[in-house]
Amino acid sequence: QVQLVESGGGVVQPGGSLRLSCAASGFTFSSYGMHWVRQAPGKGLEWVAFIRYDGSNKYYADSVKGRFTISRDNSKNTLYLQMNSLRAEDTAVYYCAKDFIAVAGTVDYWGQGTLVTVSS
Amino acid sequence: DIQLTQSPSFLSASVGDRVTITCRASQGISSYLAWYQQKPGKAPKLLIYAASTLQSGVPSRFSGSGSGTEFTLTISSLQPEDFATYYCQQLNSYPRALTFGGGTKVEIK
């Protein structure tokens, strides 16, 4: 079965950096686009970034553009999110999510999430 | 960017009730809309895609309808396990700016 397991969250100071990882299994990782979606404490869902199946194109929410970088290693079945210049408003649970091949842009599987706290 | 407005933001209902949640888009998005259910402390779960297609394994009491700018998610007979927060998501902007609605929390009356 599809499994997405995020890691790398934690507490970081404003202006700092963090790299999230998402280990994928149970499907052919190299065939699917992947997303990062976040959720601030007590708030709704916010799409963060998307990467095509082969890493050829990457797209970002305006709120993170220029600070976050999505990448993938298909040989390791792993998705990444490099987060730089972190701000308090980046505090959230970050979910790794698999794109639904039937309707691109829809998410059919989600990881359990990893919490990032930006605080001094 | 396309904005999605869900209503109501909070809903109190009883087991067995018929519940309808509305999602309005700031511009036409054809049928490029999905619905998700999220329970506290858990990841969201896909319920409906392409506005009206039920995801595999989702109970048939859930249904979606609409196109253009107005969409609805209906639960025909609310069950105890349905108390959760529901989100719509537009895909018209794919692969950019895949916005979500603000959510509708369904609580027990």
A57-115 pLDDT per residue, tens: 999 999 999 999 999 999 999 999 999 999 999 999 999 999 998 888 899 999 999 99
**Cα separation values, B86 from B23, B49, B56, B76, B94, Å:** 10, 13, 18, 15, 21
Residue A102 has a pLDDT of 85
For residue A35, which residues of chain B lie inside 8 Å, CB to CB? 98
Buried b (16+ CB within 10 A) or exposed e, A70-80: bebeeeebbbb
pLDDT of residue B109: 85
Tell me the per-residue pLDDT of B20-56, one tens digit each, with 9 for 90 and over.
999 999 999 999 999 999 999 999 999 999 999 999 9
Q: Does A45 touch chain B (CB under 8 A)?
A: yes
Query: Contact A48/A68 with Cβ under 8 angstroms?
Result: yes
With a cut of 90, say whether residue B1 has pLDDT above it: no
Cβ pairs bridging A and B (under 8 Å):
70
Distances (CA, A) of A28 to A38, A53, A101: 24, 10, 12
CA within 13 Å, CB half, B17? 15
Element (H, E) at A80: strand A78-83
CA–CA separation, A71 and A54 (whole Å):
10
Which three-class secondary structure state does DSSP give residue B36? strand
Query: Residue B82's pLDDT is what?
Result: 96
Predicted confidence at residue B15, as pLDDT, reads 95
Nearest to A103 among B36, B91, B103 (CB): B91
Strand-pairing partners, residue A93, are A39, A115
Compare all CA atoms of chain A with the CA of B94 and give the residue at the minimum distance: A105
